[in-house]
Amino acid sequence: MHPPLSLIFFFLTAGTSIGSFIFVYSILVLEIFGKGAGLPKDVILKLGAIQLVLIGLGAFGASFHLGHKLRAWKAIKRFRTSWLSREAVFSGAYGFTLLLFLVLYYFDASPYFIHLLGSLTLLLGILSGFSTAMIYASNEFVLEWNSSVTVIYYLLMYLMLGSSLMLYFSDLYGLPYTGAFIFLTFLFLTLGLGFRLAFNIRQFYIRRPTLNEALNLPHNRPVRVVDTGSTTDNYCTTEFYYKKGKELLSTIIPVAYLLTFVVPLFLVLYSWITGVGGHWIFGITFISLLAGSALERWCFFVEGNHVQNLFYGLYPEEGYRLRKGYMERKETKISLY
């Protein structure tokens, strides 16, 4: 699949915003029960402003993926059936309630209303991330994405980005949570690495459809592509298949792994073991993770193979091989009704 840069940008901004808010509000909730010292008001407001700007930039950037940007509001009409519509609704609602939460917190409103909006914002952020992940995981035409691994890993990346940003701010402002966020960043990076490896390993075991299955023909009648029906590139051959990306994939994937997992894990473990911190170390950790996540999302799109590519001779080779025994007894019936 052709990687849309606007959606990669949305992932980075929304993921960082929602991921960091999860931890900010979690600290506020723990403070209610007498666990932890809480966060200074100015830190919450600064982080909140960053989160609000990020989700706003993400929504603006994602609009470039739309063919008719002025019709974006129509996305809410398909809320009952479309994960894309749910993503748009939940992301917009998250940004709106986040703004109200910050306004109430700034004016020292009643804790009841602050936490009511905080809880709602947290819920909407999680639903936004889940809806975005389900856009890909529910796509049965791209088998690489069609898995629960996609959803779990997607949400883990939100937590990776959020915990690493909080680690930086905790050390920068001398907050008593640096040790906790070192552990959380290490934990989510480790889990993320495990699920990303599972995502890649799973690709070797996917049972891909054959051209016979796509045409609903039994396997005792071999079908092969003789003519793709187009001598030039068209929408299907450019948006559903990215030739240049496929050629670069073997190079980009190792770099993505290096920046997303190896470098951040090394820096976090180094700080954890030696006790040597510094916001510059944690800043590099976050920047490396951010850059690696951008490359990882690029790889994620390029790794996807839409089944329509069977008809253009662009699908992975195993998708053209017949599997003995499948549908061999099927009777082909032609009917006008």
Percent of the residues in the chain that have a pLDDT greater than 90, as a whole number: 57
Report residue 323: phi and psi, to 5°.
-105, 120
Predicted pLDDT at 337: 46
- Provide the whole-model pTM: 0.89
Predicted pLDDT at 77: 79
Is residue 182's pLDDT more than 60? yes
- The structure tokens listed for 170 are 């905790």
Is residue 68's pLDDT more than 80? no
Predicted pLDDT at 136: 94
Say if residues 9 and 293 touch (Cβ distance below 8 Å): no
Distance in angstroms (rounded) separating the CA atoms of residues 164 and 290 = 10
Task: Give tens-digit pLDDT for 22-52.
Answer: 999 999 999 888 887 788 889 999 999 999 9
Task: Report the range of poorest mean pLDDT among 23-37, 74-88, 285-299, 320-334.
Answer: 320-334
Predicted pLDDT at 262: 96
Mean pLDDT of the chain: 87
Task: Give tens-digit pLDDT for 79-133.
Answer: 888 898 899 899 999 999 999 999 999 998 889 999 999 999 999 999 999 999 9
Is residue 309's pLDDT more than 80? yes
pLDDT band (50, 70, 90) for residue 213: confident
Closest to 165 in 3D by CA, of 176, 147, 178 = 178
pLDDT band (50, 70, 90) for residue 323: low
Is residue 76's pLDDT more than 90? no
Predicted pLDDT at 224: 77
pLDDT band (50, 70, 90) for residue 67: low
Predicted pLDDT at 93: 95
Of 18 and 63, the structure prediction assigns the larger pLDDT to 18
- Residue whose token pair is 């909730």: 29
Percent of the residues in the chain that have a pLDDT greater than 70, as a whole number: 91
pLDDT band (50, 70, 90) for residue 215: confident
Q: How far is CA 269 from CA 172, 281, 331, in A?
A: 19, 11, 61
Is residue 300's pLDDT more than 90? yes
- The structure tokens listed for 92 are 């917009």
* DSSP track, 231-269: SS--HHHHHS--HHHHHHHHHHHHHHHIIIIIHHHHHHH
* DSSP track, 89-118: HHHHHHHHHHHHHHHHHHTT--HHHHHHHH
pLDDT band (50, 70, 90) for residue 331: low
Task: Give tens-digit pLDDT for 264-280.
Answer: 999 999 999 888 878 88
Of 235 and 94, the structure prediction assigns the larger pLDDT to 94
